[in-house]
Structure formats: structure tokens, C-alpha cells
């Protein structure tokens, strides 16, 4: 009988140290307007937006049940293009759960040609098969430990990526939610971080090491707003909030109880969801903007 989970390292080699890794062409991204959270049903797909409000990097490219483009994959290619100015944009995969990468398999296979930065984890045979189809995928180097890697965006912003916990082959049934990658998007003022946005994947906030001490102004709720993993430490981890703050739930119709909105009240004065009850054709994404 095949093992339940397999080491993704069988398919994808470890990346060079991230100081040698050019995630995106910083010369072409002079500033940013924030992030765009796409409606992909139950799953995550978040675009980092450049000065022209075009995606220059994705965090996840997923979506599963309740996908708005279930009958029309061409709509996904139009809504979530993987080219910017004629070049493919990179994709950071937070973890190897299907609802975080599946749109690249069934909706827009062109995404498989992008450069992917992924965590080393124990994954399902299905995920391993998908990984074999990726043209340019690199595993996050475990040698970095919890040290984040930072990529500049113009003069005032940085993208910061960190591994939430170390990989271990001994964890055959690894909890991938807790050992993936988390992304923070930082805005600087002079020599200190002023505000940041948090894109945690499915990892509880208190398990993400070294979050900035700056004020949090934008958030995608972890694990689609689920109750699982929520503790008093989870709340404290995101307790330093900017006076103007926005939060988005990314989820589809599901049987898991996502989202549990009580966890985030009354902290957030502006919340949105990528899923409309009537699935209005005009509502296919939600933007979180930097505050002036």
C-alpha cells in the first residue's frame, strides 16, 4: 500500500539560499497599491499589485469546491492572468493542500509554467503528481530556519517570506497548515516598518515566527476564517492594529464551518468576503489598499 503522504523533495529540488533567488523583477515594480484576493471558491489566490494595479506575484493559486468558473475555465485565465508585461509572474505556495494550488491544475494550466516557490512538506500522491508538471519549482531552503527572506518593491515596500515550522520526514502525517510559508507585505517609513499586511495561508497567526511589530493594516483570515487553531495567543499575535484596517475571508460554500466570524469581532472595522451569496458576476475579487 502506498504511503499516505510523500516527501515533495522527491520531485522538487531545494532552492538556493534566497539571497540568490530573484523572486520577481524589482526593477519593473516601482511601487504597489496593495493586494487582490480573488474569488476561487473554497481556497486561496492572492495577487500582489504593482504600480499599475497588475499582479506581479501570486500567493497561492488555488480554489476547489464552489469555484465561480466551474463551467468556464477561460474565465479564470482572464481574471487571474499569470503574465505581466509579457512575462510570467512567480507564485508562492503557502502549503500543499489542494485548495491552494488546484486552479493551476484544472483552470489555468499556464500557471504551471511559472516559477513556483514552495515549502518542503509531506504531501499526497495527487500533489506529488501535480508538482511533477511544474516547469520551474523550487523548495524553500530549510537551512534558513525561521529567518525570513525579504524582496524589495520600490523604495517603500518589501515582500517578506518565512517558513512557519521546519520540515521533518518523521511527520508522515504532517499538519501542512502549520509548516508552510507565510507572507508579510511591509510598508516602510524612513528606517522603520510603518504598517504591514499578513497573508498567512492556513497557519494560525501565533505559529508564524517573527511577525513584524508594526501595525497590521491588512489581513486575509487564516484557514478561510476557521475556528481551528484559534487561541488567545492567536489573537495577541495580530493585536497591534492600524486605525484603518481591512480583512478578507476567502472561502466557498463548504461543510467545514468556514468562516467563524466571531473570532475577528470587533477588531476589524472593514471586512469583506470573496464569495457573494448570489455570486454576482461583478464581484470576483476584493482589494486591500495601503492607507495614506
Domain spans of the chain, in order of start: 6-283
For CA atoms 206, 141, 102, 246, give the dihedral sign: positive
Q: Which fold has domain 6-283?
A: Metallo-beta-lactamase; Chain A (3.60.15)
Q: How far apart are CA 10 and CA 45, in angstroms?
A: 26
Q: Which alpha helices (DSSP H) does the chain contain, by range?
A: 73-79, 103-106, 125-132, 232-237
* Strand-pair partners of 182: 162
CA dist list (Å): 20 to 8, 149, 234, 270 = 22, 11, 33, 38
The pTM score is 0.94
The confidence score (pLDDT) of residue 283 equals: 54
Assess contact for 263 and 227: CB atoms under 8 A.
yes
Assess contact for 148 and 199: CB atoms under 8 A.
no
For CA atoms 237, 37, 283, 243, give the dihedral sign: positive
The confidence score (pLDDT) of residue 280 equals: 53
The confidence score (pLDDT) of residue 224 equals: 95
The confidence score (pLDDT) of residue 5 equals: 83
Peptide bond into 259 cis (omega under 30): yes
* Strand-pair partners of 35: 48, 288
The confidence score (pLDDT) of residue 105 equals: 93
Provide the residue-wise pLDDT of the chain in tens; the chain has 292 residues: 345 688 998 899 888 777 667 788 777 888 899 999 999 999 999 999 999 999 999 999 999 888 988 888 899 999 999 999 999 999 999 999 999 999 999 899 999 999 999 999 999 999 999 999 999 999 999 888 889 999 999 889 999 999 999 988 776 778 999 999 999 999 998 888 899 999 999 999 999 999 999 999 999 999 999 998 899 999 999 999 999 999 999 998 888 889 998 999 889 988 888 865 544 555 578 999 987 6
The confidence score (pLDDT) of residue 1 equals: 39
Assess contact for 93 and 101: CB atoms under 8 A.
yes
CA dist list (Å): 147 to 84, 100, 181 = 29, 23, 12
Helix (H, G, I), strand (E, B) or coil at 194: strand
Assess contact for 111 and 91: CB atoms under 8 A.
yes
The closest of 19, 16, 24, 3 to 185, measured between CA atoms, is: 24
Assess contact for 186 and 216: CB atoms under 8 A.
no
Enumerate residues 6+ apart whose C-beta is below 8 A from 213: 193, 240
Q: How far apart are CA 167 and CA 156, in angstroms?
A: 33
The gap from C-alpha 249 to its chain's centroid, in whole angstroms, comes to 13
Assess contact for 211 and 195: CB atoms under 8 A.
no
The confidence score (pLDDT) of residue 292 equals: 67
Amino acid at each position: 500500500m502506498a504511503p499516505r503522504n510523500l516527501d515533495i523533495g522527491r520531485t522538487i529540488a531545494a532552492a538556493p539560499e534566497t539571497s540568490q533567488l530573484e523572486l520577481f523583477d524589482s526593477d519593473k515594480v516601482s511601487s504597489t497599491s496593495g493586494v487582490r484576493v480573488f474569488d476561487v471558491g473554497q481556497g486561496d489566490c492572492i495577487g500582489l499589485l504593482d504600480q499599475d494595479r497588475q499582479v506581479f506575484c501570486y500567493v497561492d493559486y488555488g480554489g476547489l469546491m464552489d469555484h465561480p468558473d466551474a463551467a468556464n475555465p477561460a474565465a479564470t485565465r482572464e481574471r487571474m492572468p499569470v503574465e505581466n508585461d509579457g512575462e510570467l509572474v512567480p507564485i508562492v505556495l503557502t502549503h500543499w493542500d489542494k485548495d491552494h494550488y488546484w486552479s493551476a491544475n484544472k483552470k489555468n494550466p499556464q500557471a504551471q509554467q511559472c516559477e513556483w516557490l514552495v515549502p518542503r512538506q509531506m504531501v499526497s500522491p495527487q500533489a506529488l503528481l501535480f508538482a511533477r508538471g511544474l516547469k520551474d519549482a523550487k523548495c524553500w531552503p530549510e537551512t534558513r530556519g525561521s529567518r525570513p527572506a525579504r524582496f524589495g518593491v520600490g523604495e517603500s515596500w518589501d515582500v517578506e517570506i518565512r517558513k512557519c515550522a521546519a520540515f521533518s520526514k518523521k511527520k508522515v502525517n504532517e499538519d501542512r497548515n502549520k509548516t508552510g510559508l507565510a507572507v508579510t507585505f511591509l510598508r516602510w517609513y524612513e528606517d522603520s516598518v510603518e504598517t504591514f499586511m499578513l497573508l498567512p495561508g492556513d497557519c494560525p497567526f501565533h505559529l508564524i515566527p517573527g511577525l513584524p511589530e508594526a501595525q497590521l493594516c491588512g489581513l486575509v483570515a487564516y484557514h478561510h476564517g476557521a475556528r481551528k487553531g484559534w487561541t488567545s495567543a492567536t489573537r495577541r499575535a495580530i493585536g497591534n492594529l492600524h486605525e484603518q484596517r481591512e480583512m478578507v475571508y476567502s472561502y466557498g460554500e463548504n461543510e467545514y464551518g468556514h468562516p467563524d466570524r466571531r473570532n475577528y469581532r470587533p477588531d476589524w472595522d472593514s471586512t469583506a468576503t470573496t464569495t457573494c451569496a448570489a455570486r454576482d458576476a461583478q464581484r470576483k475579487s476584493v482589494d486591500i489598499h495601503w492607507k495614506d
